[in-house]
Amino acid sequence: MQIFNTMTRQKEEFVPQKEGEYRIYVCGPTVYNYIHIGNARPMIVFDTLRRYLEYCGNKVYYVSNITDIDDKLIKKGQEEGTSMQEVARKFEAEYIRDSDGLNVKAPTVRPRATEHIGEIIHIVKDLVDSGHAYVARNGDVYFRVKSDPGYGKLSHLNLDDLESGNRELRSRMDDDLKEDPADFAVWKAAKPGEPYWESPWGHGRPGWHIECSAMARKHLGKTIDLHAGGQDLIFPHHENEIAQSECANGCTFSRYWMHNGFLNINNEKMSKSANNFFTVREIADKYGYEPIRYFMLTAGYRMPLNYTVELIESCKNSLERMYTCRDNLDFAIEHAHGTDTALVEKCEDARKKFKAAMDDDLNTPDALAAIFDLVKDINTLSDASDKATLETAAKTFDELTGVLGLLYNRKKTDSIPAEVTALVEERAAAKKAKDWGRADAIRAQLTEMGWSVTDTAQGPKLAKL
């Protein structure tokens, strides 16, 4: 499989350190509110990557963290007269509910920052001891960016560009605690009333970037195979993670980097002030979770993606076509009477096209197109196919839609009540006797009972209304 590596800016063969095992870290949310629709994109994209790697027979260790200590969390706790921890636990639960709704598989580990303070202090201490970080007079600890010759390699920024950008900032800083404006906090001294932990530098709490360095090392090792997240995390978050981890560990932090593109709303940048800000929850309440998942797969993950109501509705319709095709397939299997096997080859074609698309840097739009080619073939060929062929088609269909994490809301075929079966039989007899009035009356009665009946070449087909 080829993926586009942000570090080298080219597509490369995605080869793990250990054959058949991928170690992946994806930055998770800061749990101070419901997640917004932009947050859902990396969740779905990298879950799809994980599913595909697993489908290809690999083991995937997938770590995605919970940031449960942060300025926004502290502020929200103070505003609501509760603790930071209570806010964090509440919105962590809401995040997991959305995540489950979107059919994102639970990570192998979902570590919380506040449960890794020991590991964080350990890394900060290593950085201070080796001269890569220094303690400011107020107890903050800053990473010394100039001590890392590789700094800027992911974002392809150089320190001089950063300096000029920061010059203005520096002139406005009345209390300059940093040696250099590009330096960033790995440990922050606690202000009065803030939550804190004991550390060799006094009461304080971790900076944001350091938590991912500590949790990745603890759960995946010093060198991981892939680090992924939204494009907005490249700088400074991921750049800073690399600096801290590589200076502390003395080895490559992540062998590959993947970043998904931005999500716009009605062709504009999503913002609360522009009144085009949507949470996953409010969209899911209106359209369901699955159309959101489908929507995120309609564009290549690196492309910008534009959310509109029309698009989410069209995704809902596309899903409907998939569900109908799959339900028809079940019915065809039950009533199989043909002898044709041409569909088997079509299944092979679809699988080949699907894999070729996914192998090409997770080209999900082409993978969806391969599934829809199969939908067309199933719709045309299933009537004439034999039972084994239809079963192969169903298996292939489930396999490919499953890799994309779709079609997870299939209604289990309800057992049909005896009185319904009796009525269907009575209606068939009435039709045979050309008693159309009676047949129509029974259909109306079935509708009343919540069942629809359609006459097909294989006999009457029942469905729940």
212 is in an annotated binding site: yes
Rank residues 239 and 290 by Cβ distance to Zn ion and give the closer one.
239
Rank residues 245 and 401 by Cβ distance to Zn ion and give the closer one.
245
Rank residues 63 and 442 by Cβ distance to Zn ion and give the closer one.
63
Shortest Å distance, C-beta 240 to Zn ion: 9
Of residues 267 through 306, those in contact with Zn ion by CB under 5 A are none
Going along 197-350, which residue ranges are E strands?
Answer: 204-206, 224-230, 254-260, 263-265, 268-269, 305-307
Shortest Å distance, C-beta 281 to Zn ion: 23
345 is in an annotated binding site: no
218 CB-near residues (< 8 Å, 6+ apart)? 111, 116, 119
Mode of pairing for the β-strands spanning 10-13 and 2-5: antiparallel
Check: CB of residue 387 under 8 Å from CB of residue 31.
Answer: no
Shortest Å distance, C-beta 66 to Zn ion: 11
Of residues 17 through 76, those in contact with Zn ion by CB under 5 A are 27
**3-state DSSP assignment of residue 369:** helix
- DSSP letters of 182-210? T-EEEEEEPPTTS--B--TTSSEEE-HHH
- Quick one: which segment of 207-215, 341-349, 361-369, 444-452 binds Zn ion (CB under 5 A)? 207-215
Rank residues 27 and 296 by Cβ distance to Zn ion and give the closer one.
27
208-220 and 239-249 helices cross at what angle (nearest 10)?
A: 50
Cα distances (angstroms) measured from residue 77 to each of 12, 33, 80, 84, 255: 45, 11, 5, 5, 38
The two structure tokens encoding residue 37:
């629709």
Shortest Å distance, C-beta 420 to Zn ion: 54
Rank residues 27 and 336 by Cβ distance to Zn ion and give the closer one.
27
72 CB-near residues (< 8 Å, 6+ apart)? 30, 32
- Amino acid identity, residue 135? V
Rank residues 27 and 37 by Cβ distance to Zn ion and give the closer one.
27
In 10 A of CB 417, how many CB atoms?
Answer: 12
The two structure tokens encoding residue 310:
């029309």
27 is in an annotated binding site: yes
Rank residues 136 and 212 by Cβ distance to Zn ion and give the closer one.
212
- Quick one: which segment of 76-84, 212-220, 350-358, 376-384 binds Zn ion (CB under 5 A)? 212-220
Integer Cα distance of 76 and 33 in angstroms = 9
Shortest Å distance, C-beta 70 to Zn ion: 12
Shortest Å distance, C-beta 155 to Zn ion: 14
* 212 lies in the site for Zn ion, by CB under 5 A: yes
Rank residues 69 and 212 by Cβ distance to Zn ion and give the closer one.
212
Site size for Zn ion (CB under 5 A): 2
Of residues 171 through 190, those in contact with Zn ion by CB under 5 A are none
- Amino acid identity, residue 141? V
Shortest Å distance, C-beta 111 to Zn ion: 11
Rank residues 212 and 347 by Cβ distance to Zn ion and give the closer one.
212
Check: CB of residue 248 under 8 Å from CB of residue 213.
Answer: yes
Integer Cα distance of 38 and 389 in angstroms = 41
Of residues 335 through 374, those in contact with Zn ion by CB under 5 A are none
Shortest Å distance, C-beta 237 to Zn ion: 6
Q: How many CA within 13 A on the CB side of residue 394?
A: 18
User: Which is nearest to 44 in space by CA: 284, 351, 272?
Assistant: 284
The DSSP output letter for 414 is P
Check: CB of residue 199 under 8 Å from CB of residue 121.
Answer: yes
The two structure tokens encoding residue 67:
């940031």
Shortest Å distance, C-beta 27 to Zn ion: 3
What residues are designated binding site for ATP?
A: 272
Q: Which residue ranges make up the site for Zn ion (CB under 5 A)?
A: 27, 212
Query: Annotated binding residues for Zn(2+), as ranges?
Result: 27, 212, 237, 241
Show binding-site residues.
27, 212, 237, 241, 272
